[in-house]
Amino acid sequence: MPQQRTHFISLFQMIWRFLFLLIFPAARGFLTALTGGNVSEWLDGAWKDILIIAAILILAFAQWWNLRYRWDSSGLSLRRGVLFQRRLFIPAQQIITMSLTRPFYLKPVGGVVLRVDTWAGAGSTTDIALTLPRRAALAILANRQRHLQQADFSPREYHPKGLYIACLAAILSSSFAGVIFFATFISQTGSLLGQEFADRITGTFEQITRAIAWGIPPATVAVAYLIVFGWLYSFARNLIRHKNFVVRRWKHELLIESGVITNRSYSIRLDQINYIDIRQSLVTKLLGLYSVFVNAVGYGKEKNDISAMIPANPWPRLQRHLHFLLPEFVSSPRQVKPNPGSIFRFLLDPLIPTVSIPVVGWVMAMLFPSWADFTYSIVWMAMVPCLWFLSVRLLDYLSSGIGRQGDIFTLRYSRGNQLHTVILPKSRISQVILRQSPIQAFDRRCDVLIDSLSEQKTRHHLRNLDIAQVMELFDCNETAVVPQLGRHKPLISPTEFLHPFPHYLRRWGPFGKKQNKKTGG
């Protein structure tokens, strides 16, 4: 296959890179006005501005003209640069995730963004992103699929129901993103249409909140409705993003597609999936719904990407779908779990704000009586996330633990306001850390921190588990612990399973200083 150029729309994307050169025409105009010059003096030097604009266009065109790519069975070749040319080659077998994104603004010109991700790239950015003609991008994806698919394997296809898609959109929605959108929208409206128009919008919103306050302070109502509207905006975006969701399983590939306004397709190598994450929020826990997310290099990396594989489903249905799509990942029941006396270890973090916020609110109301109604309203609003967090931690105490079946570990824990059930292969564990406080030392308990392989650092934190049981589960041999002037012998010794990664036991010395004992590597 001969080398080809990217879509011509890439030329405008490259022009954007050189727009910083426009600072020189802007500075010249500012200096002309500052020194009292008139329009004729500015026009006398306009040829300089024209030269800068021409330089921007020439540099962008030269970069686009010299950007060439080629895809064949061996991999992706890329050549770029004007004066200093760079050549890049990515073998096909090293590409973990290949994705096609077709935004609405590229559809009229037939453009598609092709992204390629490998283990060699940075965790926060895509290895290679090219804007290609739609036919060329689809041909590359089809060629990759022919090498990953096999004729003796019948493809499996999963189409979730619309109700489950809506539940997934609700799980992923955040009020914060919507509030930022509305604030930016009002600010930009004032810049484009005038401050008077923006003031009319805010004034109308204020009148509505006063009309429906129902005895509650209008400021509190405004904050509450802003949060609700922000969540609804985020929910609508997630619903559109996951519309037409479909998963296809081949022999060595997982193909995930979704989207209406912006279409997305992800081709993931099955042998490079790090782990799967079954998540629940407090609401979905009460409803008995679970959602499955996939952790793989390049999947769910960008801001507007999708990362789910199975939307919200009841547990029996989810187990059937998971076995249908990824039978390699099998969950196991808890074999190690917290003891009954460790409930305070789980509830301490949420109890601190739950108790302190009402006390602070009462003190503020006593100091500023005229603001008492508003203060108590804010306290009630702040108590909602605190009680929510407290409920999640209580459920975490009742469900957390570790299980193992063969070389597959099942980790159950909470992070933030989400309950996680992580199915993690042994080969994807990079480090196991046992962390023990002085209080935990009395009953031989510890926190288990498991680092897993991924683009960015991923740590799974399980609280207050029995040390001996954890050692046995990870095939470790425990040695004696003898306190001698703040020094401790290691609790774990390296085994073949832990090799070649370093492993540490964190303990606290007699004066509260944290000590790391390296026990293998």
Q: Same domain, yes or no, for 426 and 412?
A: yes
Structure tokens at 83: 């004066």
DSSP count for the chain of H helices, then E strands: 15, 24
The answer to the question of residue 153 being in a domain is no
Closest by Cα among 253, 276, 263, 280 to 416: 280
pLDDT score, position 38 = 60
Do residues 358 and 466 both lie within one domain? no
Q: CB under 8 Å to 266, separation ≥6 — which residues?
A: 97, 98, 99, 254, 255, 256, 257, 299, 306
Same-domain pairing of 233 and 198: yes
**Domain assignment of residue 107, yes or no:** no
User: What is the radius of gyration, based on Cα positions, of the chain?
Assistant: 29
Domain identity same for 413 and 513: yes
Q: Indicate the number of domains in the chain.
A: 4
Q: Is residue 200 part of a domain?
A: yes
418: in domain: yes
Which of 377, 398, 419 is the last residue before a domain boundary? 398
Are 141 and 265 contacting, i.e. CB atoms less than 8 angstroms apart? yes
Residues 498, 394: one domain?
A: no
CA–CA distance, 373 with 35 (Å, rounded to integer): 57
Neighbours of 513 (CB within 10 A): 9
How far apart, in Å, are the Cα atoms of 29 and each of 25, 229, 406, 495? 6, 43, 72, 71
Query: Tokens standing for 422?
Result: 């992580």
Same domain, 409 and 508: yes
DSSP 119: T
Q: Tokens at residue 77, please?
A: 């070749």
Instruction: Take residue 236 and report the two structure tokens written for it.
Output: 């609508």
| Statement to judge: residues 431 and 455 lie in one domain | yes
Domain boundary among 186, 210, 240: 240
How far is it, in rounded angstroms, from Cα 155 to Cα 491?
48
In a shared domain, residues 478 and 449: yes
- pLDDT at residue 99, as a whole number: 93
Tell whether 132 is covered by a domain: no
Q: Which of 320, 322, 270 is nearest to 149 (CA)?
A: 270
pTM check: above 0.85: no
Indicate whether 61 and 13 sit together in one domain.
yes
Residue 185 within a domain: yes
In a domain, 482, yes or no: yes
Residues 194 and 236 in one domain: yes
Domain span at 218: 175-240
**Could you list the pLDDT tens digit for every one of the 521 residues in the chain?**
578 889 988 888 888 777 777 776 667 666 666 666 665 665 666 667 777 788 888 888 888 888 899 998 889 999 988 888 888 899 988 999 999 999 999 999 999 999 999 988 766 678 889 999 999 999 999 888 887 776 566 788 999 888 888 888 887 776 545 445 445 544 444 444 444 544 554 455 455 545 444 455 555 556 666 677 777 878 888 888 888 999 999 888 899 999 889 999 999 999 899 999 999 988 888 888 999 999 999 898 887 788 889 988 899 999 999 999 999 999 999 999 998 888 988 998 899 999 999 999 999 989 888 888 778 878 887 888 899 999 999 999 999 999 999 999 999 999 988 999 999 999 999 888 888 888 888 888 889 999 998 888 889 999 999 988 998 898 876 543 333 323 333 333 333 233 333 333 443 333 333 434 333 33
Question: End of a domain among 240, 268, 293?
Answer: 240
In a domain, 149, yes or no: no
Indicate if 407 and 503 belong to the same structural domain: yes
CB of 295 within 8 A of CB of 276? yes
Phi, psi dihedrals of residue 153, rounded to the nearest 5°: -120, 120
Question: Residues 405, 510: one domain?
Answer: yes
Amino acid in position 252: H
